[in-house]
Structure 1
Amino acid sequence: MPRLDQDNRTRYWRHRGIAGLSLMQADFTTHEYAPHSHDALVVAITELGGSEFKSGGVSQEALPGEVLVFNPQAPHSGHMGRSKRWRYRSFYLTEPALAAIGRLTGSDTLPYFRSNRLADPSLVRLLAALHEQMDIGGDAEREEELLVSSFGQLYQAHGEGDRKPDLIFRDEGLLRRAMRIMDERHSDTVRLEHVGDQLGLTPFQLIHLFKRGIGLTPHTYLTKIRLHAAIKAMKDGLPIADAATQAGFYDQSALTHHFKRAYGLTPRQYVLAARRILPRRSNFYQ
Structure 2
Amino acid sequence: MSTENRFQFAKSAALDEVMLLKASMSDFSYGTHAHEEFSFGVTLSGRQDFFALGEYHKSYAGNVIVFNPEDAHDGHSGGESTLHYKMLYIHPDQLVPMLESAGVHQAKSFRVEKVLQDDAQLRSHILGLAA
Question: Is TM > 0.5 for Structure 1 vs Structure 2?
Answer: yes
Q: In the TM superposition, what whole-angstrom CA distance separates every residue of 1:221-263 from its partner, at most 9, and x where no partner exists? A: xxxxxxxxxxxxxxxxxxxxxxxxxxxxxxxxxxxxxxxxxxx
Task: Decide whether aligned partners of structure 1 residues 131 and 110 sit closer, same or farther in structure 2, where only a CA change above 3 A counts.
Answer: farther
| Stretches of structure 2 lacking an aligned partner (at least 5 in a row) | none
Task: Decide whether aligned partners of structure 1 residues 85 and 125 sit closer, same or farther in structure 2, where only a CA change above 3 A counts.
Answer: same
**Could you tell me which residue of structure 2 aligns to residue 121 of structure 1?**
120
SS, match of residue 127 in structure 1? helix
**Could you tell me which residue of structure 2 aligns to residue 10 of structure 1?**
7
SS, match of residue 79 in structure 2? coil
Q: How many Å apart are 1:110 and its aligned residue?
A: 4.4
The within-5 A match list for 1:161-172 is none
The within-5 A match list for 1:68-79 is 68-79=65-76
1:106 aligns with one of 89, 103, 107:
103
Q: In the TM superposition, what whole-angstrom CA distance separates every residue of 1:162-220 from its partner, at most 9, and x where no partner exists? A: xxxxxxxxxxxxxxxxxxxxxxxxxxxxxxxxxxxxxxxxxxxxxxxxxxxxxxxxxxx
By relative contact order (CA 8 Å, sep 6+), the higher-ranking structure is 2
**Could you tell me which residue of structure 1 aligns to residue 91 of structure 2?**
94
Q: What CA distance in whole angstroms lies between the structure 1 residues aligned with 2:16 and 2:125? A: 21
SS, match of residue 108 in structure 2? coil
2:63 aligns with one of 63, 66, 69:
66
| Stretches of structure 1 lacking an aligned partner (at least 5 in a row) | 133-286
2:14 paired with 1:35:
no
CA RMSD of aligned residues (A): 1.8
Task: Decide whether aligned partners of structure 1 residues 110 and 63 sit closer, same or farther in structure 2, where only a CA change above 3 A counts.
Answer: farther
Task: Specify which structure has the higher proportion of helix.
Answer: 1
Aligned residues: 128
Higher gyration radius (CA): 1
Q: How many Å apart are 1:29 and its aligned residue?
A: 1.7
Task: Specify which structure has the higher proportion of strand.
Answer: 2
Runs of 4+ more than 2 Å apart: 106-111
Q: How many Å apart are 1:81 and its aligned residue?
A: 2.5
Q: How many Å apart are 1:57 and its aligned residue?
A: 2.1
Q: How many Å apart are 1:130 and its aligned residue?
A: 2.4
Determine if contact 2:46/2:79 at 8 Å carries over to the other structure: no
Task: Decide whether aligned partners of structure 1 residues 113 and 61 sit closer, same or farther in structure 2, where only a CA change above 3 A counts.
Answer: same
SS, match of residue 51 in structure 1? strand
